[in-house]
Structure 1
Amino acid sequence: SGSGSGSGSVSVSVVPIVLAGFSQGACLALEVAARFPGLVAGVFAPCGARIGQSTEWAAPAGQPLTGVPVLLGAAEADRFIARADLEATAAWFRAAGANVDVVDTQGDRHEITLAQRLRGRSVLTGEPAREGATGFGNVLTSQAIEGAVPALQNTPRLHPNGLYAEQLNATGFTTPRADTHRTWLYRVRPSAQRRELLGFVQPRISATFDGAPEINLCGFAPLELPTDERDFVDGLTTVCGAGSARLRRGYAFHLYAANRSMERRALYNADGELLILPELGALTVMTELGALEVAPGQLAIIPRGIVFSVLLHGPAARGYVGEAFGRRFQLPDRGPIGSNGLADARHFRAPAAWFEDRLAPGFEVVGKLGGALHVATQDHSPFDVAGWHGNLVPFVYDLGAFSPSGNVRFDHGDPSIHTVLSAPLDEQGTHTLDLVTFPPRWDATTGTFRPPFFHRNVTAEINGIIRETAQPGSPFRPGASFVTPSLTAYGVSARAVEHSRTLNDAEADRPVQLGVDSLWFQLESALSPVLTPWGAAHRLPEWSATWGSHPSYFTR
């Protein structure tokens, strides 16, 4: 501000400010922004709307809020704010030129959600959200505030920000350096502040695979979306697995279906590494090291021991989870393919450090060890890591970035040429769990039966469908899964064989692009899967009949 020369006039310079409020405070912030747009640099207003009836609001004069970020949102059944009022508020601010972000959540709780706090940070600071570093297997560093990660030491006596140094290691101390995986975290409060872990029952999660392996082909319909309240932990269902989590050898295959975000609960898995493949609904996987945005067609890798919460972007979410009890997932060797192709390490993105110093009495942390679940409470948010460095890091990867290889002259390649990740066993050429994907690709083989060949494979296969245009009544639809046991014969349908045989040579040899409108995956293992009680009870009847009866074409 300043005074004029002799005239008594006063000129005032206005510095735009960010308005923030919750509930009634959010309503006031929005009303001030609407009436005095020149004062506003941003609005953070969860669980709020403009005051009065929308029919009483004057239309904005031009677009006085051009480019101003405005965050709105509430629970879908929040009884303190009408959905129509929130939608009308969003429409008014968009008409005024604002960049409106509506971050809703499920349920009826009147609160500021973790997703709103994540997105709102940019509104409040005026700084865009930072992207995490890339590079699968690299030693990475990320810090949310300058100096959070010490430049030289891992455990300085006095951290300049008063942070606690905490190491998380997923391998033994004397593991060879190339196989060592650990991360140092610098956090507001230590994880040791949790209370005692007590037993926690979720009846659909299994870790005992002591029965006889399944020998027949079997299929499973997509999980029904829940009608009761279920978050990611509540919504997990184990279909099959092998080995033992207690012995750290083997795997489990789960499905999930959820309709609630993990707002007051987090999970860590001491049994192994998790591979999350959404089929319906995008997720924010909030980890101690930062947030990962994971949509259908992408995957998230959550290492052993990392604490995380799963937040839903929509009213419901569904997908698949592979769990490797033994060695970690790694990129497969390319062999004769050379130095390029398949999954590239640079396409795997780690989270950027993000933290909150927030008290949260009664916050639950669920731990899984030896297949059993336990739960402890703590009085603060577990997402208080201001900086970290190491190679025990979660990643997100877009399966659309996979560069497939294939036969380009004749014959059908093995599915292993589409391997994205591999969790190996100790024996050469075997694996606990391999992830194989079937992305868009060209088939230019000639004189070849192009559908997948009939096969008896020593490796067991678990198949899932993320994207597919299914015919009415087809069991092969998104969310479905099916298991092919070791050395059990299988192949394509009789109809596919007949179609291939009736093509003329020109049609049969024409190059075609496959997988354009679909996305399937396989989890392959040298260990034979054992169905859980849930899996045995929910297998589709007469699955082997799905493939039809194959006539003889034999002639002499």
Structure 2
Amino acid sequence: MNTNAELTYLNGFGNEHETEALSGALPIGQFSPQQCPYKLYAEQFSSTAFTAPRNSNRRTWMYRIRPSIAMGDYLPMDKGLIRTGPITEAVCPPNVMRWDAVPMPDGKVDFVQGLTTIAANGDAKTLTGIGIHVYTANTGMENRFFNNADGEMLFVPQQGELMAYTELGRLHVKPGEIMVIPRGIKFKIELPNGPVRGYICENYGGDFHLPERGPVGANGYANDRDFQYPTAWFEDKDGDYSLITKFGGELFQASLDHSPCDVVAWTGNSAPYKYDLSRFNVINTVSFDHPDPSIFTVLTSQTNTPGTANCDFVIFPPRWMVAENTFRPPWYHRNIMSEFMGLIEGVYDAKEKGFVPGGMSLHNCMTPHGPEAEVFEKASNAALAPQRYENTLAFMFESCYPIAPTKFALESDIRQKDYLQCWGDLKKYFDGNR
């Protein structure tokens, strides 16, 4: 067993990385020699088609103690509150919707047991759309591992720290950071500092990547260098293990007689990674008007229509507001894109009451929304000095497909049935004589 406890990371989004936990474990000059160093098995992991263009092709070569096929047969298991697009168990209304935070669980609940689907769109079987989940847990997974054949998983921690033990190494993630685990990568979640809660975007479509900067140029937004990948770490450990796989919207479980964290070395560009959201270089107006929220895009998964996102991951971090003669909160709008928001900490500037950390809101395609009435009054009459937005970190999963809530989300006690009332005091100010 490799006992090096120090966490080190490889930097650079989507780069070809190579890392070995034992010196000389990576073959030189070829990927699959007749005999690998240390008598390891070579296994290629591909999360895009073999023939995808070079700039979007993602694959990793693993050198492991046993190949992944060294496992038992899968058997179906209960999926609890996990659902997968398309959502057919309930009718999706066009109403604005908002939820309080999902409460922490009673009893011992690990990451998989605590997964609850709030909404989804598209169809996982046609590789389109997303699933939106909340995770809550108060115990680690121990000898249970998980992998998702339906999509890659973007973790947005809201409370508590995660230690992800993946095939390719370990990642320690806390609120204010995100983690992405590619489709098909095996991992388990341990809790180094108590109970956890957070959000997950399960991306059925093309892998998340960095958006183009366009006229902004070579720098700004999320910079490649700030994304961190794990270094190789392995354990050569026999015992009773299980692997839970999400496939076609269902859960299946197989037995293993060893830990799947047995990759001694790897090289490639399809691997788990993390990113500290405080490193996002915010671009904003220095003259007038409120720019489109697309300026806050950290990661994007595009459809085949240029500029149209299967999913954009957008954040609203601490930042300066300096726009002149401008209504500074988001304007009232109706949008072809559907917007699912969450709050990691603090207060979101357009919703000062009722939108709580751990909470969520859904504004679907062409459903009108915008600042609550009280925020409109205050922003319309505020002295427009430069203002620093502190103690805030909100995010949005934005998709070109309508987002359908699950039956649980529609009927749960955490749904705020009176959400619409935050606009109830909007007044008529029209004066035809002016």
Query: Structures share a fold, TM > 0.5?
Result: yes
Question: How far apart, in 2, do the equivalents of 1:346 and 1:208 lie?
Answer: 34
3-state SS of the aligned residue for 1:350? strand
Question: How far apart, in 1, do the equivalents of 2:347 and 2:239 lie?
Answer: 44
Amino acid at match of 1:142: T
Aligned partner of 2:419 among 543, 548, 551: 543
Aligned partner of 1:170 among 20, 23, 47: 47
Match of 1:218 in 2: 97
Is residue 87–residue 120 contact of structure 2 (8 Å, CA) maintained in 1? no
Matched, 1:332 2:246: no
Aligned partner of 2:142 among 235, 258, 263: 263
Deviations 1:88-108 (A, max 9, x none): xxxxxxxxxxxxxxxxxxxxx
1:452 deviates by 1.2
Amino acid at match of 1:349: Q
Match of 1:402 in 2: 280
Match of 1:180 in 2: 57
Question: How far apart, in 2, do the equivalents of 1:384 and 1:197 lie?
Answer: 20
Matched, 1:499 2:382: no
Amino acid at match of 1:385: V
Question: How far apart, in 1, do the equivalents of 2:386 and 2:297 lie?
Answer: 23
Question: How far apart, in 2, do the equivalents of 1:208 and 1:340 lie?
Answer: 36
Question: How far apart, in 1, do the equivalents of 2:347 and 2:396 lie?
Answer: 18
Q: TM-score, normalised by structure 1?
A: 0.75
Match of 2:430 in 1: 554
For 1:432-451, list aligned pairs within 5 A: 432-451=310-329
Amino acid at match of 2:330: P
Deviations 1:440-470 (A, max 9, x none): 1111111111111111111100000001169
Question: How far apart, in 1, do the equivalents of 2:423 and 2:245 lie?
Answer: 42
Matched, 1:511 2:389: no
Deviations 1:173-223 (A, max 9, x none): 222222211111011111111100110112200014244443110011111
Amino acid at match of 1:530: A
For 1:341-356, list aligned pairs within 5 A: 341-356=220-235
1:474 deviates by 4.1
3-state SS of the aligned residue for 2:94? coil
Aligned partner of 2:263 among 375, 382, 385: 385
Question: How far apart, in 1, do the equivalents of 2:425 and 2:402 lie?
Answer: 27
3-state SS of the aligned residue for 2:37? coil
For 1:17-56, list aligned pairs within 5 A: none
Aligned partner of 1:191 among 30, 52, 68: 68
Q: Any unmatched runs of 5+ in structure 1?
A: 1-116, 123-128
Is residue 7–residue 170 contact of structure 2 (8 Å, CA) maintained in 1? no
Matched, 1:133 2:16: no
Amino acid at match of 1:418: F
Question: How far apart, in 1, do the equivalents of 2:136 and 2:147 lie?
Answer: 19
Matched, 1:520 2:365: no
Q: 1:234 to 1:139 in 2, by over 3 A?
A: same
For 1:63-142, list aligned pairs within 5 A: 121-122=4-5, 129-142=6-19
Structure 1 residue ranges (4+ consecutive) displaced by more than 6 angstroms after TM superposition: none
For 1:441-480, list aligned pairs within 5 A: 441-468=319-346, 474-480=353-359
3-state SS of the aligned residue for 1:161? helix
Question: Once structures 1 and 2 are overlaid, which stretch shifts more, 263-272 or 200-209?
Answer: 200-209
1:229 deviates by 1.7
Is residue 132–residue 142 contact of structure 1 (8 Å, CA) maintained in 2? no
Question: How far apart, in 2, do the equivalents of 1:533 and 1:419 lie?
Answer: 30
Q: TM-score, normalised by structure 2?
A: 0.95
Matched, 1:200 2:77: yes
For 1:237-316, list aligned pairs within 5 A: 237-316=116-195
Question: How far apart, in 2, do the equivalents of 1:246 and 1:386 lie?
Answer: 33
Q: 1:320 to 1:210 in 2, by over 3 A?
A: closer
Question: How far apart, in 2, do the equivalents of 1:501 and 1:251 lie?
Answer: 36
Q: 1:236 to 1:147 in 2, by over 3 A?
A: same
Matched, 1:370 2:248: yes
How many residues matched? 426
3-state SS of the aligned residue for 1:367? strand
Q: 1:451 to 1:231 in 2, by over 3 A?
A: same
Is residue 205–residue 237 contact of structure 1 (8 Å, CA) maintained in 2? yes
Match of 1:412 in 2: 290
Amino acid at match of 2:278: G
3-state SS of the aligned residue for 2:212? coil
Question: How far apart, in 1, do the equivalents of 2:19 and 2:236 lie?
Answer: 18
Overall identity of the aligned pairs, in %: 39
Deviations 1:71-118 (A, max 9, x none): xxxxxxxxxxxxxxxxxxxxxxxxxxxxxxxxxxxxxxxxxxxxxx98
**Greater Cα radius of gyration, structure 1 or 2:** 1
Question: How far apart, in 1, do the equivalents of 2:44 and 2:87 lie?
Answer: 35
Amino acid at match of 1:430: T
Matched, 1:231 2:107: no
Is residue 235–residue 262 contact of structure 2 (8 Å, CA) maintained in 1? yes
Q: Any unmatched runs of 5+ in structure 2?
A: none
Question: How far apart, in 1, do the equivalents of 2:81 and 2:87 lie?
Answer: 17
Question: How far apart, in 1, do the equivalents of 2:356 and 2:416 lie?
Answer: 14
3-state SS of the aligned residue for 1:534? helix
1:324 deviates by 0.9
Match of 1:111 in 2: none
Amino acid at match of 2:209: Q
Query: Going by fraction, where is strand more abundant, 1 or 2?
Result: 2
Deviations 1:304-348 (A, max 9, x none): 111111111222100000011010000000011111100001100
Match of 2:407 in 1: 533
CA RMSD of aligned residues (A): 1.7
Quick one: higher RCO (CA 8 Å, sep 6+), 1 or 2? 2
3-state SS of the aligned residue for 2:72? coil
Amino acid at match of 1:172: A
Question: How far apart, in 2, do the equivalents of 1:130 and 1:296 lie?
Answer: 18
Match of 1:110 in 2: none
